[in-house]
Amino acid sequence: MSSDANQLADGIAIVDDFFDGVFAPLSAWVPELAQELRSAELPLTGTALTALVRDGAFRVLDTEDRPLYGAGFCGSDAVMGEGNPLAWWQGSDRHLLASSTFGPGQAAIDLERLEWFRVPKHTGAQHVAGPFVDYLCSNEITLTSSMPVMVDGAFWGVACADVLISRIEECLLPSIRGVDGAALVNAHGRVVVSADPDRETGDRFRGIDAATGAAGDETVTLVRSQRYPFALVAPAA
């Protein structure tokens, strides 16, 4: 393994540790949330969901060793009757996302089509979605970490936490700056954060297959995370 590959491997271990820390409070919350949903009188209204979810979401946001911006739960059709299916709090004041965000009629947002909901629903596994501009919540470039909430083997929704890209840069850029032109990319080769100022978040990293996220040729060195949909990549020396 080359020197660059060794440094990228060290860097991806730091990335894994970072997201382990993001998922830790979600992992602690999900079993409790599943039990509360099992005991609830269904279907829930948006107001009832907010009351049920609030304390658990606030405990997630109490996490001090990861810069979480928002947290909450999005219920599936198995849970919801009417009203807002997303109980979500964000920002330093932990304000509740207004149901009017979703729009009326044809303008309504189909949350089940969004990556952070869709992937855990279909895989039964945790996922990190992004980077994307979160027009629904923060209006910032964001990564959303989500976990499926299963009740008696059925999918009832996702518990989620957001981290803004600006905070991810603060936490993870120092670990990749030792390799010329290195960047953290998602599973489709899109830049999350980059040590090269000419590559911005969302740019496609040349030399990576967009469909597979694999190195498409010998012009790049790539080390993939075994736990999360990310890789560290740099131009080959």
For 141-176, write each residue's pLDDT tens digit.
Answer: 999 999 999 999 999 999 999 999 999 999 999 999
- Quick one: pLDDT at residue 101? 54
Report the DSSP pairing between strands 86-90 and 127-133. unpaired
223 or 218: whose pLDDT is higher? 223
Helices vs. strands in the chain: H and E counts, helices first: 4, 12
CATH number of 15-166: 3.30.450.20
| CA–CA separation, 232 and 221 (whole Å) | 8
Q: Give residue 123's pLDDT band: very low, low, confident or very high (50, 70, 90).
A: very high
**Residues paired with residue 70 on neighbouring β-strands, in sequence order:** 90, 162
Report the DSSP pairing between strands 230-235 and 220-224. antiparallel
Paired tokens of 10: 């060290």
User: What percent helix, strand, coil does the chain show, rounded to 5?
Assistant: 35, 30, 35
| CA–CA separation, 85 and 160 (whole Å) | 13
Residue 120 in contact with residue 111, Cβ under 8 Å? no
What average pLDDT does this structure show over 194-208? 93
What average pLDDT does this structure show over 14-42? 98
| CA–CA separation, 195 and 40 (whole Å) | 48
Crossing angle for the helix pair 3-39 and 165-172, to the nearest 10 degrees: 130
Comma-separated ranges of CATH 3.30.450.20 domains in the chain: 15-166
Q: Give residue 106's pLDDT band: very low, low, confident or very high (50, 70, 90).
A: very low
Report the DSSP pairing between strands 183-186 and 127-133. unpaired
Does the pLDDT value for residue 36 go beyond 60?
Answer: yes
- Quick one: pLDDT at residue 104? 44
**Residues paired with residue 174 on neighbouring β-strands, in sequence order:** none
**Residues paired with residue 48 on neighbouring β-strands, in sequence order:** none
